[in-house]
């Protein structure tokens, strides 16, 4: 490394952010960039550790440990320390098609497995990555790379989310003619409509990259749902290969008493409508203005609902989580290099605390029924605290604690309890084989479905997962599709 003693000399430091009380007034990104000298100091903290777990991309205890796309993290840290930003960008692009996305929305499992993190705060890998790519855009280093020759092969990619975009980008660079089909009115999938604008700016970040992909030769066809607007059989006839990257968009429901009341929505419907309204500059969305909002579920989606509701001007916000509050430090059964399951406040909870005085999350609690008013609209959520106990099969299940019942007033309920897998109509129309969970059956690193020439990658194959795993699979499926079309492949 450029400065072998850097980890001894510099403390972990992140750039400041726009104050929560100010940033909730708009939909702008709120992270502030570090000056280059501070970034060099942070890059200098990267150790000459011998075995860098940060870019291993393994799965430990069911969670990502290290970077799933195997970013060459020690190398780009060293280049940043030495001021070689263009070379750092080239190194980053070797493994990552879209660092501006991962640098903003990835939970950074690389930092969770940083060797320095064993006994010190880890290297600020995510911020350095984001700084590299943003500097690349600012300097004009990122331009369309049009393939020198075309193979004459045609590939259809169904879904323009993270996996679909990564697959399309790689296959286009291999010289194939790629058409990406998207049922929404704008391409980008989860990146466009599933993540709020203040977390990932659509016009300044997402659309900018999509325009480069189009200039490189990728064709995007929006407002087209395969199996509905266009028969799946037609794609099989017109294209040499088809790749399914439809995501896992079937939400988990909460079938309790009162579920049919008005004012209860799936979180993704709420977030999608809001982002569309922001982009279209309209007020046509599910509004939380003036309402007591109850969000059932945690994770990134729950946090995004908190931040969005506050920007609408909600009266209050409560986030119900059935799991216990994580510890402040790693538990004994959660050792390095596993992903650290520790308590933290994400941006939405920070904003709620600034506006209402406390973290909005209520732990080890579940909803038991929804109560409605005379007009059939939800007016309250009945809850009870739970404790996790083992059943006869040794599985931990939540058991209600008598006497802990509460009634929480609400006029808007958002269900953010995760996803059950891909929607089935397209898969049924194609006739692809599915696994027991309803995902497309295709082996990891092969991605071939039960239909020759039809591949699957991302959440529709592996189930709900991280954006960075979608990029991993998008690049992987492109490699195997290219091998299928050409007999050999040079794609990584």
pLDDT in tens, 440-454: 999 999 999 999 999
pLDDT tens sequence across 453-481: 999 999 999 999 999 999 999 999 999 99
399, 366 contact by CB (below 8 A): no
Across the strands, what pairs with 370?
381
pLDDT tens sequence across 205-231: 999 999 999 999 999 999 999 999 999
> What DSSP character marks residue 78?
H
- Taking CA atoms, 246 is separated from 183, 249, 419, 425, 456, in Å, by 10, 8, 13, 11, 9
Please say whether the dihedral angle defined by the alpha carbons of residues 465, 469, 475 and 481, taken in this order, is positive or negative.
negative
Higher pLDDT, 61 or 453: 453
Q: What is the pLDDT of residue 63?
A: 87
Task: Indicate where the chain has its CATH 1.10.1060.10 domain(s).
Answer: 6-138
* The two three-digit tokens of residue 464, written as one number: 């709900």
306, 350 contact by CB (below 8 A): no
Q: Does residue 48 register a pLDDT over 90?
A: no
State the alpha helices, DSSP H only, in 197-252: 207-215, 232-238
Q: What is the pLDDT of residue 50?
A: 86
Q: What is the pLDDT of residue 341?
A: 94
Q: Which CATH class is domain 154-249+420-486?
A: alpha beta
Q: What is the pLDDT of residue 392?
A: 87
> What DSSP character marks residue 131?
H
In this prediction the pTM is 0.95
Edge to edge, the sheet with strand 361-362 lists 264-266, 412-415, 292-296, 316-320, 361-362
Q: What is the pLDDT of residue 2?
A: 72
As a whole number, mean pLDDT of residues 248-266 equals 97
* DSSP strand pairing (241-244 vs 63-65): unpaired
pLDDT tens sequence across 101-156: 999 999 999 999 999 999 999 999 999 999 999 999 999 999 999 999 999 999 99
Q: Considering the domain 253-417, what is its CATH architecture?
A: 3-Layer(bba) Sandwich (3.50)
Task: Indicate where the chain has its CATH 3.50.50.60 domain(s).
Answer: 154-249+420-486, 253-417
Q: Mean pLDDT score of the chain, rounded to an integer?
A: 96
* The two three-digit tokens of residue 329, written as one number: 């430090």
* The two three-digit tokens of residue 226, written as one number: 């395969």
* DSSP strand pairing (177-181 vs 219-221): parallel
Cα 169 vs. chain centroid, distance in angstroms? 19
Query: For the domain with range 6-138, which CATH number is right: 3.30.450.20, 1.10.1060.10, 1.10.10.10, 3.20.20.80?
Result: 1.10.1060.10
Q: Does residue 1 register a pLDDT over 80?
A: no
**Percentage, residues of the chain above pLDDT 90:** 95
> What DSSP character marks residue 116?
G
133, 89 contact by CB (below 8 A): yes
As a whole number, mean pLDDT of residues 241-248 equals 97
176, 482 contact by CB (below 8 A): yes
Count of alpha carbons within 13 Å of 152, Cβ hemisphere only? 1
Rounded Cα–Cα distance for residues 244 and 432 (Å): 10
Say whether 215 sits in a helix, a strand or coil. helix
As a whole number, mean pLDDT of residues 354-372 equals 98
Higher pLDDT, 63 or 208: 208
| Burial of residue 296 (number of CB atoms within 10 Å: 0-12, 13-18, 19+) | buried
Rounded Cα–Cα distance for residues 430 and 352 (Å): 45
Higher pLDDT, 368 or 63: 368
Say whether 273 sits in a helix, a strand or coil. helix
Q: What is the pLDDT of residue 99?
A: 98
Q: What is the pLDDT of residue 126?
A: 97
pLDDT tens sequence across 150-187: 999 999 999 999 999 999 999 999 999 999 999 999 99
Reference 305, options 58, 15, 296; nearest CA is 296
What is the pLDDT confidence band of residue 62, given thresholds at 50, 70 and 90?
A: confident
As a whole number, mean pLDDT of residues 312-338 equals 96
Residue 142 phi/psi, 5-degree rounding, is -100, 110
- Provide the residue count of the chain: 492
* DSSP strand pairing (154-158 vs 177-181): parallel
243, 481 contact by CB (below 8 A): yes
314, 290 contact by CB (below 8 A): yes
Residues 6+ apart with CB under 8 A from 67: 54, 55, 56, 57, 73, 95, 109, 110, 468
Q: Does residue 276 register a pLDDT over 80?
A: yes
Count of alpha carbons within 13 Å of 347, Cβ hemisphere only? 28
Rounded Cα–Cα distance for residues 60 and 340 (Å): 11
Q: Is it true that the peptide bond before 202 is cis, omega within 30 degrees of 0?
A: no
């Amino acid at each position: 490394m450029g400065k072998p003693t850097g980890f001894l000399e510099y403390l972990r430091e992140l750039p400041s952010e726009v104050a929560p009380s100010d940033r909730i007034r708009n939909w702008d990104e709120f992270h502030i960039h570090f000056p280059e000298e501070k970034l060099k100091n942070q890059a200098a903290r990267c150790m000459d550790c011998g075995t860098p777990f940060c870019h291993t991309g393994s799965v430990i205890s069911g969670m990502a440990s290290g970077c799933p796309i195997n970013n060459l993290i020690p190398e780009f840290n060293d280049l940043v320390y030495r001021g070689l930003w263009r070379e750092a960008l080239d190194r980053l692009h070797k493994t990552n098609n879209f660092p501006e996305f991962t640098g903003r929305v990835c939970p950074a499992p690389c930092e969770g497995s940083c060797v320095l993190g064993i006994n010190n705060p880890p290297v600020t890998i995510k911020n350095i990555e984001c700084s590299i790519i943003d500097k690349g855009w600012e300097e004009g280093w990122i331009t369309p790379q049009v393939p020198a020759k075309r193979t004459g092969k045609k590939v259809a990619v169904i879904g323009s989310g993270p996996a679909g975009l990564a697959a399309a980008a790689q296959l286009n660079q291999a010289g194939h003619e790629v058409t990406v089909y998207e049922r929404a009115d704008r391409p980008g999938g989860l990146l466009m409509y599933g993540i709020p604008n203040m977390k990932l700016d659509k016009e300044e970040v997402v659309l900018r990259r999509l325009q480069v992909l189009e200039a490189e030769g990728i064709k995007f066809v929006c407002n087209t749902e395969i199996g509905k607007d266009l028969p799946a059989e037609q794609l099989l006839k017109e294209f040499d290969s088809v790749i399914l990257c439809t995501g896992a968009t079937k939400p988990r429901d909460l079938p309790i008493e009162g579920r049919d009341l008005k004012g209860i929505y799936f979180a993704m419907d709420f977030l999608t409508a809001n982002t569309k309204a922001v982009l279209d500059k309209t007020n046509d969305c599910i509004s939380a203005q003036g309402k007591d909002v109850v969000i059932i579920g945690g994770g990134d989606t729950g946090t995004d609902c908190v931040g969005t509701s506050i920007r609408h001007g909600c009266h209050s916000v409560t986030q119900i989580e059935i799991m216990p509050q994580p510890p402040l430090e790693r538990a004994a059964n959660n050792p390095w290099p596993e992903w650290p399951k520790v308590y933290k406040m994400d941006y939405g909870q920070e904003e709620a605390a600034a506006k209402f005085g406390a973290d909005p999350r209520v732990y080890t609690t579940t909803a038991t029924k929804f109560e409605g008013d005379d007009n059939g609209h939800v007016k309250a959520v009945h809850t009870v605290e739970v404790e996790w106990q083992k059943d006869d099969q040794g599985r931990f299940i939540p058991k209600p604690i008598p006497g802990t019942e509460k009634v929480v007033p609400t006029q808007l309920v958002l269900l953010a309890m995760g996803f059950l897998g891909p929607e089935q109509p397209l898969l049924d129309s194609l006739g692809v084989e599915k696994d027991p969970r309803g995902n497309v059956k295709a082996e990891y690193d092969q991605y071939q479905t039960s239909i020759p020439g039809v591949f699957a990658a991302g959440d529709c194959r592996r189930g709900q997962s991280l954006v960075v795993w979608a990029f991993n699979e998008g690049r992987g499926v492109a490699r195997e599709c290219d091998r299928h079309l050409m007999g050999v492949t040079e794609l990584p």
